[in-house]
Structure 1
Amino acid sequence: MSRGDSNNDKKASGRQGGTFRKKSYARGNAPVKKNALPKQNSDPDSIRLNKYVSNSGVCSRRDADIYIAAGNVTVNGTPITEMGYKVKLTDEVKFDGRLLNPVKKEYVLLNKPKDFSTTIRDEKGKRHVSGLISNASKSKLLPVDKLDKEDTGLLLFTNDGDLSKRLKSPINGLRKIYHLVLDKDLRSVDLAKIQEGVVVDEKLVKVQDISFIDGAPKREVGIEIYSSRGKIVQRLFEQLDYTVIKLDRVIYGGLTKKDLPRGHWRYLTDQEVINLKMIK
């Protein structure tokens, strides 16, 4: 018998009634179906699950590994305990049932130079402060408040919406100190009025401190104020018939310009972020 005939006989032996027999399993011998994990993500933009959890602010990346191993984290409804598992930013990731936001919170302090806008880019395409911090983050960082184009000094950027909202609240008690240059010498009687409080738009504006700058002309003053009302410093002096021709914010909520040249930026330290978050 040839090899070909032998192979044909083997094939024929597996037939019955002209069709192949279906493979069957005795009871108890069928394959065990396992709960399938979500398909591992191969997207180049995917990130490790522990980093996703850490970026959300829940815990450190090392602690995230512990929580993942314990089954505290789900991806699209399925608990994941695999170390190194990757997810996309569009996946639904929950920690103990709470939906997480994977965007890492970032905080950047800029010493704003003159002639840069802090509002949405104007029609003439003037220079905007966002261009000065373009290399600071891949996330979109927005200034917490505004400085006029001709103003200079400290400007805080973040993608932390909760903190930004809190700092902009009119009752937050956020300390700000400005170095001002007026269009004329400030009279002592007007300095006293400012110390007592000046009414602007039917609301009393009180300052924590105001004083002349040592060794400078009387038209240069330093003022400490906690109000978050828009352009409140300029409007305060307008009430007393002065024009602020230069404004430089030198302290913002405990942050200073130390070692931060004009036009440069830096990241906030962990402690500085904690201090800002303690402001109610």
Structure 2
Amino acid sequence: MSRNDKSSGGKMSGRQGGGERKKSYSRGNAPVKKNTEAKEKSKSASASDGIRLNKYIANAGVCSRRDADIYISAGNVTVNGKTVTEMGYKVQLNDDVKFDGRSLNPEKPEYFLLNKPKGFFTTGSVVKGGRTVMDIMGKASKSKLDPVGKLDTQAMGLLLFTNDGTLAKNLAKPKNGIRQIYHLELNKSLSQEDLEKIREGVFVDKTKLIVQDVSYVTDRPKNEVGLEIKSIKPHIVQKLFKTLGYEVVKLDRVVYGGLTKKDLPRGRFRSLTQQELINLKNL
């Protein structure tokens, strides 16, 4: 007999046993409500009690809970400025928890890659009725995700999102830059002479911009260009071509720090793989 059959059988037995049996069955339901209320109160009390310090550290992506206990006992962790070595110590989400002097985020780090469509704002002012990338990414996570770097409203392509402030900061100011490849469409054909100028280095904002590679896109008109750079300065691609008398009418970032658009349609996002994350952290 299935679970549903057994449940149905119990109810039928209660009706057949007369009023007393029915009364007993009714009383039997009452504790269920009390138990549910008790569980809800228990959950509420548990939440207000806080979260174990080792779990907080593990959620921040520092190490496992077991290793966190070792670091706690060794005095590597402070809570609101005081060293805590007590096992099982609980903290609140708004406490200032530091590991070796570095503030921790109790949320589990998350990393997403978006293939941004044209016409979506990344940051800054949004015109009335304008759409932002968070209209796409809003349901990706319960955590607050922020874009790493920027893409202009009319630009398309790869954009990284995370709640990992440490990684975002490192990628925002990389020591050697980040490898990026763009597919560009210009308002007119790029001359061979200007192509060579770009290869040799063009002064943009009084600084010589060195590109890793630039070439015409194979089997396409000569106003379509592939460009590889490491600079993350705002609007650097547009400024480069404007210096030479061109306007970028289409910009698509197809590679970012080793990440590609493979199997990622426009307007869709996906989580990073563990290997991709390791590669990013090693940039």
Q: Give the TM-score band, short-chain normalised.
A: 0.7 to 0.9
Distance change >3 Å, CA 50–CA 167, structure 1 → 2: same
Cα contact 1:107–1:159 (8 A) shared by 2: yes
Percentage identity across paired residues of the two chains: 62
1:184/1:73 CA distance change after superposition, 3 Å: closer
Per the alignment, do residues 61 and 191 of structure 1 end up closer, same or farther by CA in structure 2, a change over 3 Å counting? same
Give the distance between the partners of 1:214 and 1:99, measured in 2 at CA. 49
User: Could you tell me which of 51, 54, 64 is aligned with 1:50?
Assistant: 54
Counterpart residue number, 2:237: 233
The answer to whether the aligner puts 1:244 opposite 2:241 as a matched pair is no
1:110 paired residue number:
114
Cα distance between partner residues in 2 of 1:203 and 1:119: 26
Measured in 2, the distance between the counterparts of 1:202 and 1:70 equals 51
1:160 aligns with 2:150: no
CA shift for structure 1 position 110? 0.6
Correspondence for 2:35: none
Residue type of the partner of 2:273? Answer: T
Q: Residue deviations 1:20-69, cap 9 Å, x none?
A: xxxxxxxxxxxxxxxxxxxx962269444432110223212343366668
Maintained 8 Å contact 1:212/1:220: yes
CA separation in 1, counterparts of 2:63 and 2:174? 31
Separation in structure 1 between the aligned mates of residue 222 and residue 247 of structure 2, nearest angstrom: 14
1:190 paired residue among 190, 194, 198 = 194
TM-score (norm 1): 0.75
The amino acid of 2:170's aligned partner reads R
Q: TM-score, normalised by structure 2?
A: 0.74
2:126 to 122, 137, 142: 122
1:213 aligns with 2:224: no
- What is residue 175 of structure 1 aligned with on the other side? 179
More helix by share: 2
Q: Secondary structure at the match of 1:153?
A: strand
SS at match of 1:43: helix
Distance 1:125 1:89, change over 3 A: same
C-alpha displacement of 1:105:
2.4
Deviation (angstroms), 1:104: 2.7
Amino acid at match of 1:57: G
Aligned to 2:149: 145
**Aligned-partner SS, 2:47:** coil
- Structure 2 unaligned spans of 5+: 1-43
CA shift, 1:91, in A, is 3.8
Structure 1, unaligned runs of 5 or more: 1-39
> Which letter does structure 1 place at the counterpart of 2:173?
S
Partners of 1:89 and 1:43 in 2: CA distance:
10
Partner SS for 1:251: strand
Are positions 1:80 and 2:114 aligned together? no
Q: Write the deviation string for residues 71-117 of structure 1: whole angstroms up to 9, x where unpaired.
A: 976767654324xx754213455667876442332221110001100
